[in-house]
């Protein structure tokens, strides 16, 4: 198979994977089990808290399993497309090996593993906060403060040097591969390359991903918007100029949440 045809086929398969994840999320959101896709928004917790207390919950095992599946679908839909330049560069560099398909699959699996680990931490922290809120009338009434704090944190992080160092790593896929993959133990190195890139990707995007918990995870519209922003920041030339305006917008949004809720206190 000629290389250009392989490239088109790989891009098509990758696009189909991402599109399938988006379709699955949209179908889930429109179905009878949508409640397991969503987490309550901290900005609206005072209004929906009593209802959450009254609704019967699923078993911990079922809820955790469904939330895990939802998170992996979100990663496939939102984050895998942002890392396509790395995956495609690696595929082209390993085409001479008979096991290039396996190596590419291990690279993607390593990347997904890093994000899955971050998801466990983020969901665990969010679940602990919600459990605390359900047992505290004060925190339940003022849960919007947590939402405002998460939005403000995402805004401040847009100006951090750590974010920009991580972005520099993500914007140079060829250099990243040559630094982390030497081919002496190809399968292990491919998986670890994916994990390493995933860690730097988390370093770029973790604060923006936490916005999903501030406004309520599971909104397909929010996922599309955040996925587009993160893809632009990492892969487009003008992505370097949107960071600071986005940070200002997030800080303004946080202030608006405070003003809107403080007047009722």
Give the per-residue SS3 of 122-155: HHHHHHHHHHHHHCCHHHHHCCHHHHHHHHHHHH
Measured CA to CA, the distance from residue 104 to residue 112 in angstroms comes to 12
Q: Are 218 and 38 in contact (CB under 8 A)?
A: yes
* C-alpha separations of 203 from 121, 194, 200, 244 in Å: 14, 14, 5, 17
CA 71, distance to chain mean position in Å, is: 8
User: What tokens were used for 71?
Assistant: 């998170």
pLDDT, residue 52, reads 43
* C-alpha separations of 120 from 23, 126, 158 in Å: 23, 10, 23
Would you say residue 3 has pLDDT above 90? no
Q: Please state the pTM of the whole predicted model.
A: 0.84
Residue 13 CB neighbours (<10 A)? 9
Q: State the pLDDT confidence band at 258, using cuts at 50, 70 and 90.
A: confident
CB < 8 Å & 24+ apart, contacts of 255-261: 255/148, 257/43, 257/144, 257/147, 257/148, 257/151, 258/144, 258/145, 258/148, 261/46, 261/144, 261/145, 261/148
Which region, left, alpha or beta, applies to residue 58 given φ > 0 means left and ψ of -120 to 50 means alpha? Answer: beta
pLDDT mean over 13-35: 83
User: What tokens were used for 156?
Assistant: 């401040």
Encode pLDDT of 41-78 as tens digits.
Answer: 555 554 444 434 444 444 556 666 777 788 888 888 88
Measured CA to CA, the distance from residue 151 to residue 129 in angstroms comes to 16
Encode pLDDT of 71-129 as tens digits.
Answer: 888 888 889 899 999 999 999 999 888 899 999 999 999 999 999 999 888 878 877 77
Domain layout of the chain by residue ranges: 3-262
Mean pLDDT rounded to a whole number for the chain: 82
Q: Are 111 and 197 in contact (CB under 8 A)?
A: yes
Helix intervals (H) in 31-182: 45-54, 60-78, 84-93, 100-134, 137-141, 144-157, 161-170, 173-180
Encode pLDDT of 132-168 as tens digits.
Answer: 767 766 666 667 788 888 899 999 999 999 999 999 9
- Cα-only R_g, the chain: 20
């Amino acid at each position: 198979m000629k290389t250009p045809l392989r490239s088109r086929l790989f891009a098509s398969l990758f696009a189909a994977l991402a599109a399938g994840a988006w379709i699955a999320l949209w179908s889930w959101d429109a179905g009878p089990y949508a409640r397991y896709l969503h987490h309550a928004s901290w900005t609206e917790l005072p209004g929906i808290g009593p209802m959450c207390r009254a609704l019967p919950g699923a078993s911990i095992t079922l809820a955790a399993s469904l939330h895990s599946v939802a998170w992996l679908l979100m990663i496939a839909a939102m984050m895998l497309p942002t890392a396509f330049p790395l995956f495609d560069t690696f595929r082209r560099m390993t085409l001479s090996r008979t096991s290039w398909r396996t190596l590419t699959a291990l690279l993607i699996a390593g990347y997904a593993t890093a994000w899955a680990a971050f998801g466990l931490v983020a969901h665990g922290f969010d679940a602990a906060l919600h459990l605390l809120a359900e047992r505290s009338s004060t925190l339940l009434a003022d849960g919007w403060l947590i939402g405002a704090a998460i939005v403000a944190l995402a805004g401040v992080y847009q100006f951090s040097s750590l974010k920009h160092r991580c972005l520099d790593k993500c914007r140079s896929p060829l250099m990243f591969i040559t630094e982390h993959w030497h081919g002496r133990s190809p399968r292990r190195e491919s998986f670890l390359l994916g994990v390493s890139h995933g860690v730097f990707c988390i370093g770029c995007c973790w604060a923006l991903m936490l916005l999903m918990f501030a406004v309520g995870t599971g909104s397909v519209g929010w996922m599309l918007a955040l996925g587009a922003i993160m893809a632009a920041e990492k892969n487009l030339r003008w992505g370097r100029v949107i960071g600071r305006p986005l940070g200002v917008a997030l800080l303004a949004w946080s202030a608006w949440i405070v003003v809107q809720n403080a007047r009722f206190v």
